[in-house]
Amino acid sequence: MSNGYSLDGKTILITGGSGTWGREFTQQILSEVRAGEIRIYSRGEYHQVEMRRAFQDEKRLKFIIGDVRDRARLAAATRGTDAIVHLAALKHVPVVEENPWEALQTNTIGSQNVVETAMANGVERVLFVSSDKAVDPLNFYGISKLAAERLFLAGNQEGSRTRFVVFRAGNVMGSAGSVIPVFQQQLVYLNKLTLTDPKMTRFFMAKRDAVRLALDALRIGVGAEIFIPKMKAATLDLLSRIMLENLGDSQAKIERIDVRPGEKCAELLISRNEIDRTRELRTMWVVLPFFPPRELQMRYRRAGPVTFTEYSSDAAQQFSREELESLLREEGFLSQEIPSPASPLYFRKNASVFH
């Protein structure tokens, strides 16, 4: 399959660009693409200042304070843009459950604002980074992301030249507030970790690998596809034991806590209702729309169907202990050095938010 769309010389807007995913997208684009300009669009003033200092690339990086809820501001930021990577979202499940209207405005209405401003400004390609929570959603975060997926896919039917594709992934190591950095912080600062159900399974992938595949999806996508990376999974029991043994001392312990509202025992990246439309690529799966146009049919005519009934973390290929421990070490999560500005005092005072 050809590389398709080229980002060389293009102006690229990244919504939520000062977050974990946004920084990795920026790093890879700057390293691998002769991009004309990368526009970092986000609400976080301090995170933008940190990012500006870290990257030191005033020629190619432009920082814009803005919210995807603000359609006029987003439209102004989108003018002259060739491609968009849409990352901005409220994503922490308990917070979204307690603030559903706020999440709807950002995750769903904000996504529709991206769709409409992209079409109005003649953007060529738009990539939406979705979540496993959007598959058979159990919580409001998943509902808001599923709705956003559908809005993006529908954008391909509007008759504009803008092409929209979706990249749906599970846990990416290092994503803010996700389980691995939380376990690391708890063990380093508190010498314990809090665990819901050790039998829970989760997909895991290094941040650099997930973003590399997402950029591949942006390049090869025709429009209206959902790309899912091939990911391995592990139980929380295995993950917690590896981290406890590497980061805790003889007094370290695992404290059991209740499952959070809306939390699943296993992650699901492709549902049984999508299987008939799923095709296998070398490093990803691709879910086609219900009625794929001829261009899509031709692009994936050599891609074979899948044999499984759904793609879940309890049925997917599992990490061996050695594989998972090696990946955690390589990514810096078995180190006592926390890659976070939070101090031990701050962490102890706010420990509940890390559960």
Residues marked active site are found at 133
User: Could you tell me if 141 and 107 are in contact, meaning their C-beta atoms sit under 8 angstroms apart?
Assistant: yes
* 128's tokens: 């939406």
- What sign does the CA torsion over 40, 44, 47, 52 have? positive
Backbone angles phi, psi at 152, to 5 degrees: -65, -45
Tell me the three state secondary structure of residue 190: helix
Q: Which two tokens stand for residue 308?
A: 């499984």
Q: Which residue has tokens 């769709």?
A: 115
- Cα–Cα dist 10/37, whole Å: 7
Q: 248-273 b/e with 16+ CB inside 10 Å = b?
A: beeebebeeeeeeebebebbbbbbee
Residue with token string 């409409």 = 116
Residue with the two structure tokens 């008939």 = 276
| End-to-end CA separation in angstroms for the chain | 43
Beta bridge partners of 178: none
